[in-house]
Chains A and B, each alone.
Chain A
Amino acid sequence: EAGVAQSPRYKIIEKRQSVAFWCNPISGHATLYWYQQILGQGPKLLIQFQNNGVVDDSQLPKDRFSAERLKGVDSTLKIQPAKLEDSAVYLCASSLEFEAFFGQGTRLTVV
């Protein structure tokens, strides 16, 4: 079974620039999560999709972050404009029922 795929693996941008991350979940998984993990901390949920609908985006900074999951499969997370404090690893995960499977993440550095 193929795992959760994310790209790019690394990204360095200047503050105020925009950036997008892509996630391909495990086939058939209805639930897709985007987490932000700052160095030394646990993953923090940004947004959760059930199929192509958002079920939780309470911790997403909506003035600069957006996400979509067209057709209920792949998802993109965008930051525009980026701030220094957005430097983190962005993790995508998917689940069928209970256990969530994670991708390797995208490490974003904002300079």
Chain B
Amino acid sequence: GESVGLHLPTLSVQEGDNSIINCAYSNSASDYFIWYKQESGKGPQFIIDIRSNMDKRQGQRVTVLLNKTVKHLSLQIAATQPGDSAVYFCAEKTIGNSGYSTLTFGKGTMLLVSP
């Protein structure tokens, strides 16, 4: 199930289950979104991205869904494995005051996969 921990929301699943991690973004002008995976002691690692002119994109075992109407992004992981245990962040690309695009991160969700 899903619960709110001291800092990070946590999703606990069994190995083999499908996982869905959700993210609400803030800027309706954001035109590009990335999901990152961060394992303990490492920097964020790219998983999958999606542009705002799409509503779904699939990768290997992962699918990202974008709902621009409600500013919501989700990451679906099929057949979750123990190696998927990590913190997952969504990030949105927006144009800053300088005219250059910048990458803003959400709060993150910890995924715990038990064997």
Binding site for B on A (CB under 8 A): 4, 31, 33, 35, 39-45, 48, 50, 55-56, 58, 91, 93, 95, 98-105
Contact = CB atoms under 8 A, between A and B. Distances in A.
Please classify how large the interface on chain B is, using the bins under 10, 10 to 19, 20 to 34, 35 or more.
20 to 34
Given A56-B102, A101-B46, 17 more contacts: A40-B6, A40-B7, A41-B107, A41-B108, A42-B105, A45-B104, A48-B102, A50-B100, A55-B99, A98-B34, A99-B46, A99-B49, A100-B34, A100-B103, A103-B43, A104-B43, A105-B42
Tell which of A42, A99, A105 has the most Cβ of chain B within 10 Å.
A42
9 contacts: A4-B43, A35-B105, A40-B7, A42-B107, A48-B102, A58-B97, A91-B44, A99-B46, A99-B49
Q: Give the secondary structure class of A's interface.
A: strand
B98 A55 contact: yes
A98 B6 contact: no
Nearest to A54: B98
B103 A45 contact: yes
A55 B42 contact: no
A98 B95 CA distance: 12
Contacts of B49: 98-99
B29 interface: no
Contacts of A4: 43
Contact of A43 (B32, B89, B93): B89
B18 to A, nearest CB: 24
A40 B34 contact: no
Contacts of B99: 55
B83 interface: no
